[in-house]
Amino acid sequence: MIFNLAVTAGEVTTSLIVLVMAFVFLRVLGSKSGKILSLPGPWSFPIIGNLLQLGDHPYLTFMEMRKKYGDVFLIKLGMVPVVVVNGMEMVKQVLLKDGEHFAGRPNMHTFSVLAEGKSFSFSVNYGESWKLHKKIASNALRTFSKAEAKSSTCSCLLEEHVTEEVSEMVKFFAELTSKNDSFEPRNLITSAVANVVCALCFGKRYEHNDEDFLKIVKTNDELLKASSPANPADFIPCFRYLPLRIINAPREFYQALNQFIAGHVKDHIKTHDKDHIRDITDALINICHNKHASTKTAILSDDEIISTVHDLFGAGFETISTCLYWSFLYLIYYPEIQAKIQEEIDKNIGLKSPRFEDRKVLPYTEAFINEIFRHVSFLPFTIPHCTTVDTSLNGYFIPRKTCVFINMYQVNHDETIWDNPNLFRPERFLDKNGELNKSLIDKVLIFGMGIRKCLGEDVARNEIFIFLTTILQQLKLSKCSGAQLDLAPRYGLTMKPKPYQLKAELRSSGSSSA
């Protein structure tokens, strides 16, 4: 290393102080994490660790590191040792076989913000209370989404809500094309999906131009942008005390979103009627206001009900809207695939409004959705995990409270599982008879697996199916003349495509069913 000799005494003093602080930090950290230093992994810098080596797409960097260090290796993000897990067998070990050993959440600054209201998705504390909390939320979501619909043409309430919203979306798509020739679909997608969640959680839908509704949709979007996967406060503790926007923005947006949800929950608590359950929030209140037989206390407090609704709101929102946004881009990028889906819809359900039960007769459409999940892998990592006990993985000792990253993108692009993984090919999920290969679908990682698996998977798959089939039954989507489409993602907590424009025109075979 070459030093610049033209420095002042003050600069030398400052540098010495920084070096001493760094040495102390590393000694303290080393005393806690020395046992896992035997794990293979790249050399890291003091203080910043391997942060500068991750690049714009860390999941790809980890795939390259895997070639040298194997499925399980150690990196340092700032001051935090992180075990990176790749490969289906190791992922199953972490999430399924030894799931409880890896079911914690690391004590990160971002998580402390998102878990303030005892969120079960981000809660650091894993135990019996957490299990009860998630079980209640899962039961409420499953029970109410399958509740009887008001319309005799729909099988359940979720199907009814989704059908209503996608009908509105078809009208918006057609109107915007007639007025402007082309349009950017993201806001329409986000608003439609948010309305389904609001209807399920609060029994209410909003007009797309409603100011309060648009504000909360924007706030959720800003929260995701602010909750960067590379927030320095998560990995270098002293940053938590600096007045930086990237540090403090997540709390600001989370609190704004929570106020919106809390207002609805409190109104529901005031007007709750156990004999008239209106939505998921009512269902939760009904369950949680029943007292424990032994302690005579509520199963969950009102604040925990608010946080549970918040978790359900997120579970039914971001994954679905992101998947649809990517799907429309791929459909105009690969018009021959769009035509195949439309041919399957015309042949098997015709002009009848698509329903959940039609998933079994539209295998190519289902294959397309799964190939979007796999190829895009817009959730490249699970939410970070943390060990709850001293454990081992791939022959290495992993101490309690070690942060663990699970690289789902790598599994979804593993050449030992997928033939030509970088090729977008829905047919890979079909057997020689054109039926779905369910064992291959089970290998697609997007919702996680095991204890911390996303509880909204069934809702998401059903909802995405109805949105896509109804749109493609009635509309032909196409790109703008001369437009250059880009399938490269923008990295974030969920990876989004770059903004794009599309055109939508009514199909002659589907126009009469609008």
Is the pLDDT reported for residue 296 higher than 60?
Answer: no
What's the one-letter identity of residue 201? C
* Per-residue confidence (pLDDT) for residue 246, from 0 to 100: 61
> What number is the average pLDDT over the span 363-381?
97
Is the pLDDT reported for residue 336 higher than 50?
Answer: yes
Is the pLDDT reported for residue 511 higher than 80?
Answer: no
Taking all residues of the chain, what is their mean pLDDT, rounded to a whole number? 83
> What number is the average pLDDT over the span 186-201?
91
Least confident of 341-345, 502-506, 508-512: 508-512
pTM to 2 decimal places:
0.87
* Per-residue confidence (pLDDT) for residue 47, from 0 to 100: 85
Q: Is residue 13 part of a domain?
A: no
Least confident of 152-161, 292-301, 499-508: 292-301
DSSP state of 150: S
Which position has the higher pLDDT, 203 or 325?
A: 325
For residue 138, the surrounding DSSP H or E stretch is: helix 128-145
Q: Name the region of 356 (left: φ>0; alpha: ψ -120 to 50; beta: rest).
A: alpha
Least confident of 122-126, 286-290, 351-355, 472-476: 122-126
The residues, ordered by sequence, that sit 6+ positions from 28 with a Cβ below 8 Å of its Cβ are none
pLDDT tens readout for residues 52-78: 899 889 999 999 999 999 999 999 998
* Per-residue confidence (pLDDT) for residue 231, from 0 to 100: 66
Q: Is residue 62 part of a domain?
A: yes
> What number is the average pLDDT over the span 203-212?
84
Q: Is residue 299 part of a domain?
A: yes
Q: Is residue 312 part of a domain?
A: yes
Is the pLDDT reported for residue 370 higher than 60?
Answer: yes
Q: For 225-280, give the DSSP string.
A: HHS-TT-HHHHSGGGGGS--HHHHHHHHHHHHHHHHHHHHHHHHHHH--TT---SH
Which position has the higher pLDDT, 489 or 231?
A: 489
> Given the structure tokens 């002293």, which residue do they identify?
238
Is the pLDDT reported for residue 325 higher than 60?
Answer: yes
> What number is the average pLDDT over the span 359-364?
97
pLDDT tens readout for residues 428-467: 999 999 999 999 999 999 999 999 998 889 999 999 999 9
Q: Is residue 293 part of a domain?
A: yes
CATH number at residue 254: 1.10.630.10
> What number is the average pLDDT over the span 208-232?
71
Return the bridge partners of 391, or none: 398
Distances (CA, A) of 200 to 164, 271, 274: 13, 17, 17
Rounded to whole angstroms, the Cα distance separating 504 from 476 reads 6
Rounded to whole angstroms, the Cα distance separating 444 from 413 reads 9
* Per-residue confidence (pLDDT) for residue 21, from 0 to 100: 45
Tokens for 139, please give them.
């039961």
Least confident of 95-104, 282-291, 303-312, 472-481: 282-291
- The count of domains in the chain is 1
Q: For 351-374, give the DSSP string.
A: TSPP-GGGGGG-HHHHHHHHHHHH
Q: Is residue 272 part of a domain?
A: yes
* Per-residue confidence (pLDDT) for residue 129, from 0 to 100: 76
Tokens for 215, please give them.
């504000």
Least confident of 129-133, 475-479, 481-485: 129-133
> What number is the average pLDDT over the span 392-407?
95
Return the bridge partners of 49, or none: 45, 77
* Per-residue confidence (pLDDT) for residue 119, from 0 to 100: 57
Q: Do residues 511 and 392 lie in contact, with contact meaning Cβ atoms separated by under 8 Å?
A: no
Domain that holds residue 352: 38-513
Is the pLDDT reported for residue 35 higher than 70?
Answer: no
Is the pLDDT reported for residue 3 higher than 70?
Answer: no
Q: Where are the beta strands (DSSP E) in 347-448?
A: 385-386, 391-393, 396-398, 403-406
Least confident of 164-173, 225-234, 277-286, 415-424: 225-234
Q: Is residue 147 part of a domain?
A: yes
Which position has the higher pLDDT, 41 or 122?
A: 41
* Per-residue confidence (pLDDT) for residue 116, from 0 to 100: 55
* Per-residue confidence (pLDDT) for residue 284, from 0 to 100: 86
Rounded to whole angstroms, the Cα distance separating 463 from 457 reads 10
Count of residues for the chain? 514
Nearest to 476 by CA among 336, 369, 370: 336
Q: Is residue 30 part of a domain?
A: no
Tokens for 54, please give them.
């991750």
pLDDT grade for 176, boundaries at 50, 70 and 90: confident
Is the pLDDT reported for residue 100 higher than 90?
Answer: yes
Q: Judge residue 289's burial from the number of C-beta atoms within 10 Å of its C-beta, 0-12 exposed, 13-18 middle, 19 or more buried.
A: middle
Which position has the higher pLDDT, 412 or 307?
A: 412
Least confident of 88-97, 257-266, 479-488: 257-266
Q: What share of the chain is helix, strand, coil (3-state, %, to 5)?
A: 55, 10, 35
Rounded to whole angstroms, the Cα distance separating 406 from 447 reads 12
Phi and psi, residue 127, nearest 5°: 180, -160
